[in-house]
Structure 1
Amino acid sequence: MESKPLYVYPFNVEGLTDSFSNRLDIKFKEFANKFSPKKDEEELLTVEETIAFLKCSKQALWNWRKNGILPSYRLGNRVYYRKSDIFAKLIKQE
């Protein structure tokens, strides 16, 4: 059996960690931008999307809407919730 030579390449640990942390920072910023509410674009969620987002029951969402806890918007027969209102309410916790 023929043996193959072993090549050892020198590397800089500090350079690797800097490169890794820079890539991690970029990925984190991309992730944060993806889920942060946009000021120029308000995203409206349907009732089903809001239930999935908040992980609550349909009855709880209806009670929050009727009691004025979570503002809703109607377009025709459909009810929508603004994502920025949901975030504001979760942060404020009145």
Structure 2
Amino acid sequence: MESKEIRVYNLSPDEFKESIRSIVKELLPQQKKNTDKIPFADELLTVEETLKFLKCSKQALWNWRKNGILPSYRLGNRVYYKRSDIFNKLIKQV
């Protein structure tokens, strides 16, 4: 995969979205192929790990959970997310 430099501050919102889409389209097929081989693809991530992974706010993650966009799992009073569910959701969004 070749490296490309993107200057975000010079992009319009539509150009920014298109840049993100192109990056995701390049990376996700490779990741999907690799998740079949990775034994921890169904690994449960904590809320904090999921926030770091998705680089989103806690409020956004909570909204996605409450609206059924991203499935979550409860063990006791803790909430977890499956890594494979996150990848599958990202793939469907592209």
> What percent identity do the matched residue pairs reach?
75
Higher RCO, Cα 8 Å, sep 6+: 2
TM-score under structure 1 normalisation? Answer: 0.58
Unaligned runs of 5+ in 1: 1-31
Letter in 1 for 2:62: W
1:73 partnered with 2:64: no
Per the alignment, residue 48 of structure 2 pairs with 48
Q: Could you list the runs of 4 or more consecutive aligned residues of structure 1 that deviate by over 2 angstroms after TM superposition?
A: 36-41
In the TM superposition, 1:1-94 aligns within 5 A as 36-37=34-35, 38=38, 42-93=42-93
The Cα shift of 1:41 comes to 5.7
1:17 equivalent in structure 2: none
Using the TM superposition, give the Cα deviation of residue 93 of structure 1 relative to its aligned residue in structure 2, in angstroms.
Answer: 1.1
* Matched residues, number: 61
Query: Are 2:41 and 2:83, in contact at CA under 8 Å, matched by a contact in 1?
Result: no
Over alpha carbons, which structure has the higher Rg? Answer: 1
Partner of 2:45: helix, strand, or coil?
strand
Greater helix proportion: 2
Inter-partner Cα distance in structure 2 for 1:41 and 1:68: 21
Change (3 A) 1:79 1:92: same
Deviations 1:6-35 (A, max 9, x none): xxxxxxxxxxxxxxxxxxxxxxxxxx79xx
Q: Do 2:72 and 2:82's aligned partners in 1 also have CA atoms closer than 8 Å?
A: yes
Q: Cα RMSD (Å) of the superposition? A: 2.3
